[in-house]
């Protein structure tokens, strides 16, 4: 414990550790050292964001995807997935519902769907910004050309989420077909940041083939990129993918990584993800208590919820947005933190 405590103190003091020390921090964790780690992460997040937990309304507007990532339930080869697209009007309806519930950030997430040309995305983004100038719009629609990202930014999009998935080349190839590359993914993130977006990267915890060394690379990549947001959650198998029989990511490891990311990046916006809530009934609460400060309830229309299944057993697919907000409000209050209605910009 003393060595672990020293590492945690050093990480909090300098926001960094040598690779081998990060590896040891992960490998030698005990329930006792985790408790200390989480307490430090809470202190650091409270110094920057107080007790506030920000909410983002997630609008899953298309589950068509041209990609075939081995882990993902909406990959193009997942034949059992019923595909849908929301119209611009349906998306705006989601925003209306969300705005009335207090949401001031809308996250448009979808598969890489050619139907949504740059022009269509621009029209959706400017439509939302026109109706709700007080709200932030986040895009999470995968890899596109720099010119497209520039057009989205000009249309008023504020933020962009693009998880890097793994910072190790070889591991990246274990998770993706050969037409996808880590180099291009990283290029997209660099472009997005350069254009002026608040950017989010991130990865799955416990994805097939992941080794502790890969997690260290993920942490190092995050330190290089210096994103505004980091999305991490456990890998959860989906029955209609090549990884159907793989084991899911661990709760403790995910919490430990959330806390480490908080110590390395005191200002980062860090969601307690739906995947975390899926592997443990109090997963999101535990995430908040390990340093997370964002939740992303679903604003998608109820009839499409069950079709946006990136992994099996996803929670909240049968609930109205209003129910999720009420439920989350209580859950977060139970941790001593507070769900707030605010754009929740990076500080």
Binding-site ranges for ligand 5AD (CB under 6 A): 71-72, 163, 165, 204, 233, 235-236, 238, 275, 310-311
Give the integer Cα–Cα distance in Å for 75 and 67. 6
Interaction partner, residue 316 (ligand FES, ligand 5AD, none; CB < 5-8 Å by kind) = ligand FES
Interaction partner, residue 323 (ligand 5AD, ligand FES, none; CB < 5-8 Å by kind) = ligand FES
Interaction partner, residue 319 (ligand 5AD, ligand FES, none; CB < 5-8 Å by kind) = ligand FES
Between 17 and 204, CB nearer to ligand 5AD? 204
Interface with ligand FES in residues 276-305 (CB under 6 A)? 297
**Cβ of residue 167: shortest distance to ligand FES, in angstroms?**
31
**Cβ of residue 250: shortest distance to ligand 5AD, in angstroms?**
13
Structure tokens that stand for 127 in this block? 């439509």
- Residue 90, classified by CB atoms within 10 Å of its CB into exposed (0-12), middle (13-18) or buried (19+), is middle
**Cβ of residue 109: shortest distance to ligand FES, in angstroms?**
16
The DSSP code for 112 is: -
Interaction partner, residue 61 (ligand FES, ligand 5AD, none; CB < 5-8 Å by kind) = none
# chain residues binding ligand FES, by CB under 6 A: 7
CA angle 140, 130, 86 (to 5 degrees): 45
Interface with ligand FES in residues 303-342 (CB under 6 A)? 316, 319, 323-324, 327-328
Between 143 and 319, CB nearer to ligand FES? 319
**Cβ of residue 315: shortest distance to ligand 5AD, in angstroms?**
13
The DSSP code for 111 is: -
| Of 318, 340, 345, nearest in space to 48 by CA | 345
Give the integer Cα–Cα distance in Å for 60 and 273. 15
Instruction: Evaluate whether 342 touches 52 at the Cβ level (below 8 Å).
Output: yes
| Of 71, 97, 87, nearest in space to 239 by CA | 71
Between 191 and 285, CB nearer to ligand FES? 285
Interaction partner, residue 235 (ligand FES, ligand 5AD, none; CB < 5-8 Å by kind) = ligand 5AD
**Cβ of residue 43: shortest distance to ligand 5AD, in angstroms?**
29
Cross-sheet strand order for the sheet of 52-55: 294-295, 52-55, 338-340
Cross-sheet strand order for the sheet of 159-161: 57-62, 105-110, 136-140, 159-161, 198-205, 229-234
Residues found near ligand FES in the complex (CB under 6 A): 297, 316, 319, 323-324, 327-328
């Amino acid at each position: 414990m003393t060595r672990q405590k020293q590492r945690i103190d050093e990480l909090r003091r300098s926001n960094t550790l040598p690779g081998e020390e990060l590896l040891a921090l992960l490998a030698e964790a005990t329930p006792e050292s985790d408790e200390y780690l989480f307490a430090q992460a809470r202190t650091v997040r409270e110094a920057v964001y107080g007790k506030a937990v920000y909410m983002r309304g997630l609008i899953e507007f298309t589950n068509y995807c041209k990609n075939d990532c081995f882990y993902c339930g909406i990959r193009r080869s997942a034949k059992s997935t019923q595909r849908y697209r929301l119209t611009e009007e349906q998306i705006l309806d989601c925003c209306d519902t969300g705005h009335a519930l207090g949401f001031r950030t809308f996250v448009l997430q979808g598969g890489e769907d050619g139907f949504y040309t740059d022009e269509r995305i621009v029209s959706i983004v400017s439509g939302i910004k026109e109706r709700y100038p007080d709200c932030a719009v986040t895009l999470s629609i995968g890899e596109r050309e720099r010119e497209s990202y520039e057009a989205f930014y000009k249309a008023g999009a504020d933020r962009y989420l693009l998880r890097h998935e793994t910072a190790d080349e070889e591991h990246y190839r274990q998770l993706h077909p050969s037409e996808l590359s880590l180099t291009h993914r990283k290029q997209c993130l660099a472009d997005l940041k350069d254009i002026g977006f608040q950017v989010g990267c991130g990865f799955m915890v416990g994805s097939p083939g992941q080794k502790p060394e890969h997690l260290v690379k993920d942490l190092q990549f995050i330190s290089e990129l210096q994103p505004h947001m980091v999305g991490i959650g456990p890998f959860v198998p989906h029955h209609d993918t090549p990884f159907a029989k793989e084991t899911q990511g661990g709760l403790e490891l995910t919490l430990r990584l959330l806390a480490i990311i908080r110590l390395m990046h005191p200002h980062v916006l860090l969601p307690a993800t739906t995947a975390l809530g899926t592997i443990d009934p109090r997963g999101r609460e535990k995430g908040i208590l390990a340093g997370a400060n964002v939740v992303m309830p679903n604003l998608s229309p109820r009839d499409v919820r069950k079709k946006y299944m990136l992994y099996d057993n996803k929670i909240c697919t049968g609930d109205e947005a209003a129910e999720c907000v009420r439920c989350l409000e209580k859950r977060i209050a139970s941790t001593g933190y507070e769900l707030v209605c605010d754009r929740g910009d990076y500080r």
